[in-house]
Structure 1
């Protein structure tokens, strides 16, 4: 830690925050875990301990849920007007913008991502999303409904907040995913208990302090740290009305089963194995950078990563060579180094998983065109890896790797529209997909038939706060961002009056 400060990578302010004793955030107070149990947070750039954070047990979770329930049912939040609620959401965005450099350093230290991405993408996007959602507070509308009953009637609908929400976020975009969950819930008038991933809790703990600074009332946002046991206690709690989860498909399935016991509303944003289809007429100056960004950004730890590329035989060699060249440009190193473009995998567990997939691909006969091994002698770094000669029965094609590993598969003229759609859809997932071609009509026809929540044309990965985001099939259900995210945190009530 001191070496990073001396090198100018970490400010004294951030170092002081990381080094202090950390607490849970319940009812706008920093409180110790009842058991006193803690767990270590590790720096993925070198595997060394950064900090110890509290491990919330079921009693701590119960305190947090009770605080959220009290805030929802009574107190200033329950009585707040939509205008004032929107102002608070906007103020939170302003404060995050004010502390953006500090938060980006925390994110880079904890997650490993390049500081330029943390600051230029994650923080900017999060601030924009809070301001966007703050505007929705005054626009959550019902309808007057004409009915065909005998006599005189007045019928209308109201859209009301769903209540107390458990929000569980992943480690690949720790702060941004927390904002994705918190912003629409606040706009809708819900209260919440947020659990960050145990690998990356530091930015959420700093966010807790900023939430208090923003003046958001007691109990509206509570933040508890811990592992899967803490998350399970949240999902199982009988006074939680809704669970919003982003993470692995296997965990999402368990949440669905547990939530069924109390018939909780559940929204899930899960894994992906996104296809990208490159046609002969694709503009390579656009296609290659788009594909490379899609797979190597955030060290491939994006659920919509362009990990499965179908390239027409006439451009297959160009695509492979282009991806190899892009991979060779990567500057690998600690995320806090401003020159780094590819940081480490976030945890040793995920590092081992990614390396295991590369070995499996090699053993199954895939050609490693570039990369394919660990980088350096410490930390969890994996070289950007390009695999060729892959087939659909290989695990590297069938399963989500969640690392900087891309597979390129050729297709020919005998693969018509139907065959390409079948290949793109031949996966359990359906989160993202992309089509690269100058024939815009063909691209839109494919977009209609590919089973994915987002289909990009001549790009891969960009997002906007106004666009709903979510998956088909085992990539989950429910949509985040756009008004669809507000819908996740509201429910409709019908009122029928006989006049």
Structure 2
């Protein structure tokens, strides 16, 4: 069994506790590796290393262009190691190799993009209303950033945070999910190969209470960026606020995927299935509420059930597998509990509704693709994030009703709209309260386009030019070019 240590100040580091956590393979249900169980002492060492790297030594001495070149070189190294990193992610989180490999081939683009942006950070010269002064602004890095990543797409979501943080000139301490830490620890080993100074990137693994909390609360951490549940995000936000830390939170979703009766039904049905059953429903943008206009409701339900019924389950390393296991045992049990809740609320089970007992699923944590019809938007199954392959179908009559149902939830991360009416497409994209609205597509993301949530789905934006601003602060510089000092007791 492989054993992974922390990564602090450019070197592997044994946990201060000398204890380890098991990392399980969701397909076999058995442990395959051990990771260090960190504590406050490990956090202290990692933050101290990051602070030293930020304030002294080679990192602050680098030009912005040189920082960018390091990121581009890192992108090349990740591309070289994409198949190996993808295999590790599959072993750790059970997602399909086909998807993880595609992600790892795409991840380098984040590092290339922000590598190119590193030397495009610039301030402004302000045209003042006062004579005798020159005023300009500087955009400077915040300092040490705590990056806390989830278990569903560890390296993809790490790139969304790490690439802009490094491009801005920050240093970081990463706390990956205790369920999926291995791929992050493998990736950071590439940093020294391309020339990153020691201490710029550090990783401490372990439990949220033992690592995450002391990291968020550390006085030298100036920003916390987190992807995960809204409950954990709320606690992080409250803790970070005590020290006025900057915070970016990408939290949960209960996204509406809305099919109008004028939609291309072939495309819409594919989009509905992709929105919830791809990645086994374990994405924050999962289209877990399928809103279908009354005129096509029965036809859409029939087609979605038929297509989902054909989904091939099994070993996520096999090219033919379409639905893999749930990543963790607790999440597996949570999904089954929500299925029971939905049945108790009166939702009608149209497909699935139980743990998968197929021979090809072995001893893994599989849940059959599950579809409920007759769902009322007030039901818990329509209001709470399940984070699994469970779809709630809700009937609506009019465009106004669709908007009302779509927005009647505390989340606002994503939404899908399926229609041939261009006017309706624009109206819906304006009226839906969500950070991303897809029209006649679903689950499309890019390093070029900002991503984030409304309402309880979070704070701040990742990706695109917007993201690098999240790691910078503005300084205003005033220079007296000849103005009289005047009365010392009066504001200039």
Partner of 1:223: 203
Kindly indicate whether residue 442 of structure 2 is the aligned counterpart of residue 460 of structure 1: yes
Deviations 1:180-230 (A, max 9, x none): 111111111100000100011110110121122222111000011101121
Deviations 1:342-376 (A, max 9, x none): 11000010001101111111111111111111112
Report SS of the residue matched to 1:470.
coil
For normalisation by structure 2, the TM-score amounts to 0.95
Partner of 1:422: 404
Give runs of aligned pairs for residues 330-409 of structure 1, distance below 5 A: 330-376=311-357, 378-409=363-394
Partner of 1:208: 188
Distance 1:334 1:238 in 2: 45
Distance 2:273 2:138 in 1: 46
Give runs of aligned pairs for residues 34-73 of structure 1, distance below 5 A: 34-73=16-55
Verify the 8 A CA contact 1:169 1:247 in the aligned structure 2.
yes
Report SS of the residue matched to 2:318.
coil
Distance 1:44 1:424 in 2: 33
Verify the 8 A CA contact 2:267 2:440 in the aligned structure 1.
yes
Q: CA deviation at 1:398?
A: 0.8
Distance 2:55 2:346 in 1: 60
Distance 1:337 1:470 in 2: 32
Verify the 8 A CA contact 1:392 1:398 in the aligned structure 2.
yes
Verify the 8 A CA contact 2:2 2:34 in the aligned structure 1.
no
Partner of 2:477: 495
Distance 1:187 1:330 in 2: 41
Verify the 8 A CA contact 1:370 1:387 in the aligned structure 2.
yes
Report SS of the residue matched to 2:95.
coil
Kindly indicate whether residue 311 of structure 2 is the aligned counterpart of residue 326 of structure 1: no
Q: CA deviation at 1:91?
A: 0.8
Question: Aligned residues, how many?
Answer: 476
Partner of 1:267: 248
Distance 1:69 1:365 in 2: 55
Report SS of the residue matched to 2:292.
strand
Distance 1:366 1:291 in 2: 19
Distance 1:307 1:35 in 2: 41
Report SS of the residue matched to 1:451.
coil
Distance 2:141 2:104 in 1: 27
Verify the 8 A CA contact 2:173 2:203 in the aligned structure 1.
yes
Q: Which stretches of structure 1, 4 residues or more, deviate above 3 A after TM superposition?
A: none
Verify the 8 A CA contact 2:4 2:182 in the aligned structure 1.
no
Report SS of the residue matched to 2:205.
coil
Verify the 8 A CA contact 1:133 1:183 in the aligned structure 2.
yes
Partner of 1:144: 125
Kindly indicate whether residue 143 of structure 2 is the aligned counterpart of residue 163 of structure 1: yes
Give runs of aligned pairs for residues 170-181 of structure 1, distance below 5 A: 170-181=150-161
For normalisation by structure 1, the TM-score amounts to 0.94
Give runs of aligned pairs for residues 263-302 of structure 1, distance below 5 A: 263-302=244-283
Report SS of the residue matched to 2:244.
coil
Distance 1:125 1:431 in 2: 22
Partner of 1:109: 91
Query: More displaced, 21-30 or 65-74?
Result: 21-30
Unaligned runs of 5+ in 1: 1-18
Verify the 8 A CA contact 1:368 1:388 in the aligned structure 2.
yes
Report SS of the residue matched to 2:411.
coil
Partner of 1:15: none
Report SS of the residue matched to 1:216.
coil
Partner of 1:242: 223
Q: CA deviation at 1:337?
A: 2.1
Deviations 1:399-424 (A, max 9, x none): 00100111111111xx343x322211
Report SS of the residue matched to 1:172.
coil
Give runs of aligned pairs for residues 430-445 of structure 1, distance below 5 A: 430-445=412-427
Verify the 8 A CA contact 1:291 1:459 in the aligned structure 2.
no
Unaligned runs of 5+ in 2: 482-492
Partner of 2:488: none
Verify the 8 A CA contact 1:157 1:492 in the aligned structure 2.
yes
Deviations 1:411-457 (A, max 9, x none): 11xx343x322211000000001111001111111111111000110
Distance 1:47 1:215 in 2: 38
Verify the 8 A CA contact 2:5 2:14 in the aligned structure 1.
yes
Verify the 8 A CA contact 2:19 2:37 in the aligned structure 1.
yes
Report SS of the residue matched to 1:118.
helix
Report SS of the residue matched to 1:138.
helix
